[in-house]
Structure 1
């Protein structure tokens, strides 16, 4: 029996909501998503109530939440926004019967596992579809850097693990990245890769390049730098975007090595927006540049998922995977 649920994807900047329908064969259909700004709401509960009002005052009695941050423990704190969620109170506060909470990139990995081939574009490595068995690394830049691990069984089943891979140490590979690290070390004793390959990092990269050229530039919003770097109006911003893509390639390769991955998927809204820059940059070269393992890295396919809402789709998929086995005993949650 098919059922409906609310899929929610909560990041540092936005909270996205949609009604998802899970069919008898576990096919997932998403309704039109709505995006709310996290800074406009005091808590997730008030954002939920806002969405409920927009939907006419009633919602399905099940929810799947993808959250940007660790999801274990009695209190869930977001990495890049001030909201908290207490799982023990979810049913009461949201007036639902069933819920699943997963890390946001755990959800994206669920989306990767279930998405059709036409939802991916090729970035580097061998052409063709992603491997049907074995390990895949899923990562993507946004407000932070999300990383997850997907293992496909020969039976067609799959397992997903959330990680905090975005917080491993940043390893510079040349003098420019040495300079980026030096700038970041003035504010952070320990510099993680998230400080260099998440969306806000473009500001530090831009400022570093400007200082190297002796140019005085004002501190500004990272979105403005991304815009100028991609529309061709600012050559220094374009160089910053290229440098960002190169560093992302290095990090993606490191994660693939650490996971023993047979394939890599870049995800996230920023990843999709810079897809042309990724293809034109040194991303692929940096992904392969792993010394004695360069030939092995060249044999790993790297894709970009272009599903419009992988977090929402993946949250619903996680619910179907984790809660679906108990559905018959508890009845239809819609």
Structure 2
């Protein structure tokens, strides 16, 4: 297989941050990683151009313009036009390729890229209690970040093949009466309560308000930010925030177990995104694992499935590089 001419530009663009990286040699790790705020740039081409200007100035005479690029984006990919689910950004794939002067531009779902990066992860990039995923069969990744991403990974014809999807928008199910009341409270505000509606950065304030409604009979006058909910919950100073984190972990465990069953991910489930690593040991002490396995007759099936938390936020860039190497997207 002919390797696309180097260097390559890779990007992982979510609802909050646009992360860029650089690959300048065959098999080299992604370098010069930089995270830019989505809110501070009008569109992806502005952010990409800002990154390339900064990198060009830093590299001086070693600078060469990228020939190929792969963008992993938090959006379903259905055609030339890409509109982000949780940000105002949108772009034309062909226009962006022309704007950046590229020979090729692959655009894939961000969790497709993240899934492709899973086999490359080292133990140092993971947090687990118990065995690590074995990477020898079907795997899944679930990621509460700004939104909630889901993807699978299977081995086919000697290569890893990602299964992208929009599983985060599947309907969220309650595991007990308290969670049923919380979801009912959220449903007064939203017609459809998806997993992402409560299990994400945009969802934690909604979950907190619903938990407060059930516990106290009313939601807070001013919604708390995700950062405040996590900080107060971890500090233990706010009982509603504490219960919100407990409920988040339990619901996430139930949802991740559903994903593992649906994809047959017996080799492991990875938890990515920016929220869970911030919970530290609180996550492993939560009801996550109990609820992950609580699937009746399939409890033993899930008990054997290892789960690991992805500790780094830049791993999807390696998956984007794999897309260029394989010429997918």
Q: What is the TM-score when the length of structure 2 is the normalising length?
A: 0.89
Q: Residue 296 of structure 2 aligns with which residue?
A: 291
CA contact (8 A) 1:133 1:153 kept: no
Do structure 1's residue 93 and structure 2's residue 80 form an aligned pair?
A: no
How far apart, in 2, do the equivalents of 1:238 and 1:74 lie? 44
Per the alignment, residue 168 of structure 1 pairs with 170
Partner in structure 2 of residue 327 of structure 1 = none
Q: Structure 1 length as normaliser, TM-score?
A: 0.88
Could you tell me how far apart the structure 1 residues matched to 2:313 and 2:44 are? 23
1:313 corresponding residue in structure 2: 318
Shift in alpha-carbon separation, 1:179–1:93, aligned structure 2, 3 A: same
Q: Do the aligned partners of residues 175 and 22 (structure 1) sit closer, same or farther apart at CA in structure 2, a change above 3 Å counting?
A: farther
User: C-alpha deviations, 1:109-148, integer Å up to 9, x for none?
Assistant: 011022234322224xxx4342343211111101111001
Match of 1:229 among 225, 228, 233: 233
Shift of the 21–51 alpha-carbon distance from structure 1 to 2, 3 Å rule, reads same
CA distance in 1, matches of 2:80, 2:223: 39
Aligned to 1:10: 13
Is the CA contact (8 Å cut-off) linking 1:209 and 1:240 kept in structure 2? yes
Size of the aligned set, in residue pairs, is 317
> How far apart, in 1, do the equivalents of 2:283 and 2:197 lie?
19
Conserved in 2, the CA contact under 8 Å of 1:138 and 1:147? yes
- In 2: Cα distance, 1:214 partner to 1:279 partner: 27
Partner of 1:279: 284
Matched residues in 2 for 1:22 and 1:234: separation? 50
Runs of 5+ unmatched residues, structure 1: 324-334
Q: Which runs of 5+ in 2 are unaligned?
A: 58-62
Match of 1:185 among 187, 197, 202: 187
Shift in alpha-carbon separation, 1:196–1:118, aligned structure 2, 3 A = same
CA RMSD of aligned residues (A): 2.2
Whether contact under 8 Å (1:180, 1:204) holds in the other structure is: no
Q: Tell me, in whole angstroms, the C-alpha distance in 1 between the residues paired with 2:102 and 2:157.
A: 36
